[in-house]
Amino acid sequence: MKNNDMRQQLVQLGNGAHAMATQILGNTDDAADAVHDVFAKVLRKPHVYNADKGPFTPWFLRVVRNHCIDLIRRRHPGGVDVETLSDPGPGPQTSLEIAQRDQALQLALTKLPDLQRQIIVLRDYMDLSYAEIASVLNIAQGTVMSRLHRARMALKEELDRHG
């Protein structure tokens, strides 16, 4: 892939990657830093991406996700189960920044387990296919539907409870 094409794709993926990183790290500033780090890494070594192994979007999101998990592991050297990582919730700055309508949604998302938040963002916010989601999250494609459904039902319950 040409460098300019890659830059253009990265710009378009920036917000989605940021939304996903926010769900993992629980903080928009840390998430933005993480996405910038990955941008720099990818642009420094663009040959690392092999187009024969699949499309760019899931590959890039997987790199972002792995980077975020590395950051969390560095914060908690004792070991963290990223599958069940509970979120600290949005900081006060985050709550002020987001619109009121989305605030309830963001808050409800923070109540879900880490993987459920990510799967919802990947599907409903970024519009990835089940195959791409499986690739990003490194899970079997056959389990995406059931996981996503559980996540949506859990989110719906949270929203019903708190608005």
The packing angle between helices 56-75 and 130-137, to 10°, is 30
Beta strands in the chain (DSSP E): none
User: How many Å apart are CA 84 and CA 12, to the nearest integer?
Assistant: 30
**Residue 64 is a binding residue for other proteins (CB under 8 A):** no
Residues 3-42: x where in contact with other proteins by CB under 8 A, - otherwise, as a string: ----x--xxx-xxx-xx--x-----x---x--xx--xx--
Token output for 64: 């972002």
Q: Does 148 bind other proteins (CB under 8 A)?
A: yes
29 phi and psi, to 5 degrees?
-70, -45
Out of 46, 98, 113, 139, which residue is the one contacting other proteins (CB under 8 A)?
A: 98
Which range in 49-57, 65-73, 74-82, 123-131 contacts other proteins by CB under 8 A? 123-131
| Residue 74 token pair | 């560095």
In 3D space, the residue among 97, 112, 133 whose CA is nearest the CA of residue 24 turns out to be 112
Q: Which of 73, 102, 162, 163 binds other proteins (CB under 8 A)?
A: 102
> Which H or E run contains 109?
helix 100-110
Does position 63 interact with other proteins (CB under 8 A)? The reply is no
DSSP state of 85: P
Per CB under 8 A, the list member of 27, 106, 116, 118 interacting with other proteins is 106
Binding site for other proteins (CB under 8 A): 7, 10-12, 14-16, 18-19, 22, 28, 32, 35-36, 39-40, 43-44, 97-99, 101-102, 105-106, 120-121, 123-125, 127, 129-130, 145-146, 148-150, 152, 155-156, 159
